[in-house]
Amino acid sequence: MTARKAFKARVRAEMSASGRTYAQAAAMLEAGNPARPADAHPASALVVALLRAHGMDLAPEAAFGVGGGIGFMYAVFTYAEVDHPLLTIVCQHHPAPWAPTMLDRLGIPHVQVKTKALTVALLRDRRPVILPLARGSLNWLHPSADEREEQVVLILPAEEGGCRVLDGSGSAQTMSVEDIVTAYMLSRRKHPVIAVEEAAGAQLDVATPLRAGLRACVAGMTGPVLGNSFDVNFGLSGLEKWAQRADGVGRDDWPALFGSNPVWRTRLVDGIEREHTAPTAGRPLFARTLRLANLDAAAAAFERSAGHWRTISHRAGSGTLTYSQLAHEVRRIRDLEAEGTALLAEKLR
């Protein structure tokens, strides 16, 4: 395969420069997360690694911007059978799927399949693919209450015949094709299996796709997103709603909903540091994205915002965050991100 020839050439170059064996050099090039571990964004990191397998280089900061960068979505649902409200916050651009959106903006030909037969064919052809697997089949991940919950991963054919599985966090594991197919069939398969066409070029025009992604970011922060009443939970309006709910006195506000149950603090750490985001709500990585595009004033606003996200996460993790402190920090985030979004929108016009 052309892509594997390009990769093998890079492996040999690494062997020559470092003295590593072929296996060591290949493992280093394939397993390393393309973003710095401190602020890796799994969804865009998988696309960076997929492109790298085809001989194309994309900086993690640029990749995050092309995909849409930061965002916000807030939701709290209550169910009679659950003894506490279910809290979800999404701190990345949402809800457009990252991999197809990034590849479309970059103009990279790719295929999307959803059947077992076509997926097996891609794996048997030794094609690098992004696909969903059931979390319950991936023993290196944190356990999930729903073992069928999807974990989107990148599968890279390994020289010894197995496959390397990258989850975008910087770790890599080895699985057989048979185990991968089993884990795929056990998942809900909401996301398609994606493979880059062999004819895809090695040269990337990043400037135009990056501006498109940043425009999508502005649109997601200022709304509307879905075109229905739930839009109030997205972007800057979602942050405003969160600030009001965090220390309000109504029955739908957090003091009444959660009371002394600490689950809200745990869910905040999950949403800010791990789930659907880069660490610290992705704001430090996004600031670097903006500086890459020479948007320094907007970057500074999001760097200041990152400090408040960090405070929420740290105090929630230590169990010391109060409702009033949370509301104060969220209001500061809302103000700074309104400023940053306005500066970004002005420069993109």
- Is residue 24 domain-shared with residue 47, that is, in the same domain? no
- Is residue 27 domain-shared with residue 37, that is, in the same domain? no
- Is residue 157 domain-shared with residue 296, that is, in the same domain? no
Owning domain of residue 114: 32-196
**Looking at the 3D structure of the chain, how many domains does it have?**
3
- Is residue 227 domain-shared with residue 132, that is, in the same domain? no
In a domain, 202, yes or no: no
Identify the domain boundary among 172, 196, 220: 196
- Is residue 214 domain-shared with residue 294, that is, in the same domain? yes
- Is residue 46 domain-shared with residue 63, that is, in the same domain? yes
- Is residue 172 domain-shared with residue 224, that is, in the same domain? no
In a domain, 201, yes or no: no
- Is residue 269 domain-shared with residue 211, that is, in the same domain? yes
pTM: 0.86
- Sequential pLDDT tens for the chain (349 residues): 344 455 566 667 666 666 656 655 665 555 443 434 456 899 999 999 999 998 899 999 999 999 999 999 999 998 888 888 999 999 999 999 999 999 999 999 999 999 999 999 999 999 999 999 998 888 887 767 678 889 999 999 887 778 999 988 777 889 999 999 999 999 988 899 999 987 555 678 899 999 999 999 999 999 999 999 999 999 999 999 999 999 999 999 999 999 999 999 999 999 999 999 999 999 999 999 999 999 999 999 999 999 999 999 999 999 999 999 999 999 999 999 999 999 999 999 9
Identify the domain boundary among 144, 174, 196: 196
In a domain, 57, yes or no: yes
- Is residue 156 domain-shared with residue 273, that is, in the same domain? no
- Is residue 36 domain-shared with residue 147, that is, in the same domain? yes
Predicted pLDDT of residue 33? 38
- Is residue 241 domain-shared with residue 212, that is, in the same domain? yes
CATH code of the domain covering residue 45: 3.90.70.10
- Is residue 37 domain-shared with residue 184, that is, in the same domain? yes
Tokens (6 digits) for 99: 């991999």
Identify the domain boundary among 196, 220, 250: 196
